[in-house]
Amino acid sequence: MRIQPISQIKINQPVNFKSNPKGGIYTNITNNDGTLEDTVKQYNILVIFLSSLLAGLSLLAIFGKKGSFKLAESNLVKFESLKNNSKIPTLENCKSINKELKEILEQQININKAGNDIISEIGETPNTANRFLLYGSPGVGKSYFAKIYAKSMDADYMEVLFSDFNSKWVGETESKMKEIFNSILKTAEKNPNKKYAVTFNEIDALVVPPDNLPQSRGTHWVSILRQRSIFLNYLEVLKEKAPNVTIIGTTNISPKNSGLDRAAMSRFQNLIEVPYPNKECLKEALKMNLEKLKNKDEFFKANNEQLTELANKMADRKFSFRNLENVVQEAKNMFVSEKIKGNKEGFKIEYLNKAVQLVKLSDGELEQSTKKV
């Protein structure tokens, strides 16, 4: 059957497209010899051609020169020095950290800083300090303490989120993961005498236990297993080829239940719980968040007992650091509102007390209520 060139089709009537239950499209257009079949088939060929063209253009976005596969530009996270970051203290001068947690992190740092003269006495390099997991409830400061650890160790820092490599395209998530790990490996091998720390936040999204995956064996299921495999394999590669890199995982899920992958947990020999801050931590955190107050020294001196009492109340209600930050911000909002109304007084402790009362459920209380349900 001869297919008539589209440019020669003569349309005798207005086009009226209708769906065809057998596939293709019905129209009321006719060509010059009155044959409807040729016209319809020509239209379908055009649709297929245009679809193929669009698909080809999409591939050009991810194919490099000479046909080699190349990822589209990705916003890879980079290492940064925390040395001059005034918002991040070191373990030595951080007062808002639980004593037990501080001792554990100090031990990890000491192991990493041990010289060859000490290591030679035991005959091998201790690797346990290169892999540890910080777990605890939301808002207790896991990512913050990871940065404190990195700064205390004088290590350049990188934070990796699941969104940094997650993609809707099949296979691209795994490719981005490899790209990130290879970037870490290349940097560490290039500077073997320098320390690096990499935090994988919300690691539970990355290493889902196979038993917890949906029973369907679709593409998504296979992709998750591949991501898990890549992550676990690269942990071993870094351990062998880049001992100057510390890998830190953070998660809200306790490793005591089945929510975390056992194979992944076995690679993090140190599982460190980050508890809710106690009253001493909360009081120091209050002061840190009020550092920019005008006449702060006079405020702290005049309200020392009230700040202690306020910290005690927050500790009893299991406030997280995030809860505390919200309280301070709300208190500052109250101050600004009063100033606009003409109040000439300075920042008052009453603002903080009112802000605490406005918190109906702290993170700790919310967690307890969820467990009861």
Torsion angle (degrees, nearest 10) of CA 49, 51, 56, 62: 180
So what's the pLDDT on residue 19? 46
pLDDT on residue 202: 87
Q: Which residues, listed in sequence order, are joined to residue 247 by a DSSP beta bridge?
A: 131, 198
Q: Please state the three-class secondary structure of the chain as a single string.
A: CCCCCHHHCCCCCCCCCEECCCCCEECCCCCCCCCHHHHHHHHHHHHHHHHHHHHHHHHHCCECHHHCECCCCCCCCCCECCCCCCCCCCCCCCCCCCHHHHHHHHHHHHHHHCCHHHHCCCCCCCCHHHEEEEECCCCCCHHHHHHHHHHHCCCEEEEECHHHCCCCCCCHHHHHHHHHHHHHHHHHHHCCCCCEEEEECCHHHCCCCHHHCCCCCCHHHHHHHHHHHHHHHHHHHHHHHCCCEEEEEEECCCCCCCCCCHHHHHHCCEEEECCCCCHHHHHHHHHHHCCCCCCHHHHHHHCHHHHHHHHHHHHHCCCCHHHHHHHHHHHHHHHHHHHHCCCCCCCCHHHHHHHHHCCCCCHHHHHHHHHHC
Q: Cite the residue boundaries of each domain of the chain with CATH code 3.40.50.300.
A: 99-273
CB 196 within 8 A of CB 254: no
CATH number for 99-273: choose from 3.30.2350.10, 3.40.50.10140, 1.10.3720.10, 3.40.50.300. 3.40.50.300
pLDDT in tens, the chain (373 residues): 444 444 444 444 444 444 444 444 444 444 444 444 555 455 555 545 555 555 554 444 444 444 433 433 345 568 999 999 988 999 999 999 989 999 989 988 888 777 667 777 776 655 556 888 999 999 999 999 999 999 999 999 999 987 677 666 666 778 888 888 999 999 999 999 899 999 999 888 787 776 766 665 666 667 778 888 888 899 899 988 998 999 999 999 888 776 788 888 888 878 899 999 999 999 999 999 999 999 999 999 999 999 999 999 999 999 999 999 999 999 999 999 999 999 888 999 999 999 999 999 999 999 988 776 5
Residues of the chain with CATH 1.10.8: 279-372
* Cα(324)–Cα(289) distance, integer angstroms: 9
Quick one: pLDDT at residue 219? 66
C-beta of residue 284 within 8 angstroms of C-beta of residue 96: yes
Q: Which contacts qualify for 6-11: CB closer than 8 Å, 24 or more apart?
A: 6/42, 6/46, 8/32, 9/39, 9/42
Q: Which CATH architecture has domain 279-372?
A: Orthogonal Bundle (1.10)
pLDDT at 58: 47
Retrieve residue 48's tokens: 């297929």
Phi, psi of 154 (to 5 degrees): 55, 45
pLDDT of residue 38: 53
C-beta of residue 30 within 8 angstroms of C-beta of residue 39:
yes
Distances (CA, A) of 256 to 117, 209, 261, 262: 38, 13, 11, 10
